[in-house]
């Protein structure tokens, strides 16, 4: 429960507007809504502060397995506003939790299988839902891999060989453009009005702490060897002894102890895009923590689920140098911490007797932004 899972950056999307499925975790791009009874209302996609359209910052597939029930169809969308003043304002950010609240395992299999042919997997690292439904209780991914690799591999190879001809991003080394026949790129979402951030996919990694941190510290680049230290300590003249030293907490001119601890965790895995730890502890860069509200529906106190980290901003900024219409330079946050309802309640319109595909979309409001 207390373990932290880090999200490391994976492949870039060939086109920022390409369609994935709601089982993909990605940063940027356009949100992939699963089949909903009621489509997502427009009001949820608008910024509270300036009224403009929100763009998708992160889409995280976060199924849960709790003691009494497991929710496999649970996706969290983090939406943000790219206007200048809205960057650090908690009102301009929105976190949506979308889940299918049906606990019945048998009834779940059918809609999942029906969705399979529609979806196009984008990277081999992504899991197919069959592995999910077949291993609800036991997390046994070794067996399910064999089911999916051949199809996936063929698709992935085909996509790697055919570069999308509408790649807007210029690099130093241009890709050779090939003339392609047949299906070129992935399906694109037909929505030109919403601002779109550069899109890349995420793979997860466990946080294996101690060994990495020492290695990361070594980057500091010491030009001193231990022999020199012994030599210098022998050079002391008499009457000069360093007395009365006591333990001192880390301190620098611009950085205090809390921030240095935050930075230490970041240095262990410098590319982490977000940290996921359901019910665990958040990593605060600044000591004072604002108070959180309770869940609007059930009233229980919210619990930490995940927090976005600054390398995400760096990757997005690198990709969107001058090719996009919108810029994220107004974002100066150090971390965005998201708290969700521990009971995973949904708005009371669905009851036990209703049919399988009852999906609820709930707005979570507990977002804490800690600024640079």
Partner 1 sequence: MAERGDRGGFGRGFGGRGGGEGGGRGRGRGERRGGRRGNKSEEEKWVPVTKLGRLVKSNNITSIEQIYLHSLPVKEHQIIDTLLKGLKDEVMKITPVQKQTRAGQRTRFKAFVVVGDGDGHVGLGVKCAKEVATAIRGAIILAKLSVIPVRRGYWGNKIGLPHTVPCKVTGKCGSVTVRMVPAPRGAGIVAARVPKKVLQFAGIEDVFTSSRGSTKTLGNFVKATFDCLMKTYGFLTPDFWTETRFSNSPYQQYTDLLSKPTTKALLPPTEEPLQAEA
Footprint on residues 298-327 left by partner 1 (CB under 8 A): 305-306, 310-311, 313-314, 317-319, 322, 325-327
Nearer to partner 1, 310 or 367 (CB): 310
**What are the b/e assignments for 94-106, b being 16+ CB within 10 Å?**
bbbbbbbbbeeee
DSSP letter for 204, please: E
Residues in contact with partner 1, shown as a per-residue x/- string from 36 to 55 under the rule CB under 8 A: --------------------
74-80 and 94-100 as β-strands: parallel, antiparallel, unpaired? antiparallel
The DSSP bridge pattern shows strands 70-71 and 197-206 to be unpaired
Nearer residue to partner 1 within complex by CB, 279 or 290: 279
Binding flag, residue 257, partner 1 (CB under 8 A): no
Nearest to 32 by CA among 245, 188, 240: 188
- Applying CB under 8 A, does 65 fall inside the site for partner 1? yes
Near partner 1 by CB under 8 A: residue from 106, 210, 243, 351 = 243
Q: Binding of partner 1 at residue 258 (CB under 8 A)?
A: no
Size of the site for partner 1 (CB under 8 A): 110
Positive/negative CA dihedral, 273, 278, 282, 288: positive
Q: For residue 46, which of 82, 72, 12, 85 has the smallest C-alpha distance?
A: 82
Which lies closer to partner 1 via its Cβ, residue 114 or residue 255?
A: 255
Contact characters 208-237, partner 1, x per CB under 8 A: ------x--xxxxxxxx-x-xx--xx---x
Task: Indicate whether 166 belongs to the interface with partner 1 (CB under 8 A).
Answer: yes
Q: Are 81 and 55 in contact (CB under 8 A)?
A: yes
Question: What is the footprint of partner 1 within residues 265-304 (CB under 8 A)?
Answer: 266, 270-271, 276-280
Compute the least distance from the CB of residue 94 to partner 1, in Å. Answer: 19
The mark string for 171-200 relative to partner 1 (x by CB under 8 A, - otherwise) is xxx-----xxx--xx--x-x-x-------x
**Close Cβ partners of 283 (under 8 Å, ≥ 6 residues apart):** 261, 262, 265, 275, 307, 335
Q: Does 16 bind partner 1 (CB under 8 A)?
A: no
Find the shortest distance in angstroms from Cβ 210 to partner 1: 12
Closest approach, Cβ 92 to partner 1, in A, equals: 15
Residue 334, CA atoms < 13 Å, CB-side half-sphere: 13
Helix (H) or strand (E) holding 153: helix 141-161
In angstroms, the CA 372 to CA 369 distance is 10
Using CB under 8 A as the binding rule, whether residue 25 contacts partner 1 is answered as: yes
Residue 261: which of 251, 253, 273 has the closest Cα?
251
Q: Residue 270 or residue 290: which is nearer to partner 1 going by CB?
A: 270
Among 138, 150, 161, 253, binds partner 1 (CB under 8 A): 253
Which residue lies nearer to partner 1 by CB, 37 or 191? 191
Burial 261-277 (b: 16+ CB within 10 A, else e): ebeebbebbeebbbbbb
Would you tell me the crossing angle of helices 209-217 and 257-268 to the nearest 10 degrees? 100
Q: Which of residues 74-103 bind partner 1 (CB under 8 A)?
A: 74, 84
Subset of 133-162 contacting partner 1 (CB under 8 A): 139, 141
């Amino acid at each position: 429960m207390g373990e932290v899972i880090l999200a490391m950056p994976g492949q870039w999307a060939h086109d920022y507007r390409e369609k994935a499925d709601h089982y993909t975790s990605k940063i940027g791009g356009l949100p992939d809504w699963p089949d909903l009874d009621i489509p997502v209302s427009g009001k949820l996609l608008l910024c509270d502060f300036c009224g403009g359209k929100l763009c998708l910052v992160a889409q995280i597939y976060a199924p849960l397995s709790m003691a009494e029930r497991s929710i496999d169809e649970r996706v969290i969308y983090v939406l943000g506003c790219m206007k200048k003043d809205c960057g650090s304002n908690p009102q301009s950010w929105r976190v949506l939790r979308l889940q299918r609240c049906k606990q019945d395992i048998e009834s779940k299999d059918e809609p999942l299988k029906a969705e399979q042919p529609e979806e196009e997997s984008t990277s081999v690292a992504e899991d197919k839902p069959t592995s999910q439904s077949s291993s609800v209780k036991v997390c046994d991914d070794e067996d399910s891999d064999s089911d999916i690799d051949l199809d996936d591999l063929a698709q992935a190879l085909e996509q790697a060989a055919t570069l999308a001809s509408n790649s807007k991003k210029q690099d130093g080394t241009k890709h050779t453009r090939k003339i392609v026949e047949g299906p070129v790129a992935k399906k694109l979402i037909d929505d030109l009005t919403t601002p779109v951030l550069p899109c890349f996919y995420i793979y997860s990694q466990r946080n294996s702490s101690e060994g990495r941190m020492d290695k990361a510290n070594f980057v500091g680049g010491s030009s001193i060897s231990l022999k020199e230290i012994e030599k210098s300590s022998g050079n002391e003249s008499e009457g000069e002894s360093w007395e009365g030293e006591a333990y001192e907490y880390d301190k620098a001119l611009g950085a205090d102890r809390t921030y240095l601890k935050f930075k230490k965790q970041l240095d262990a895995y410098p590319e982490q895009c977000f940290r996921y730890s359901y019910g665990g502890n958040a990593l605060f860069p600044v000591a004072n923590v604002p108070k959180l509200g309770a869940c609007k529906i059930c009233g229980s106190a919210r619990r930490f689920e995940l927090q976005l980290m600054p390398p995400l901003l760096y990757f997005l900024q690198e990709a969107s140098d001058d090719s996009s219409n919108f810029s994220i330079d107004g974002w100066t946050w150090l971390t965005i911490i998201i708290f969700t309802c521990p009971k995973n309640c949904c708005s009371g319109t669905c009851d036990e007797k209703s049919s399988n595909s009852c999906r609820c979309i709930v707005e979570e409001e507990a977002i804490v932004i800690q600024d640079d």
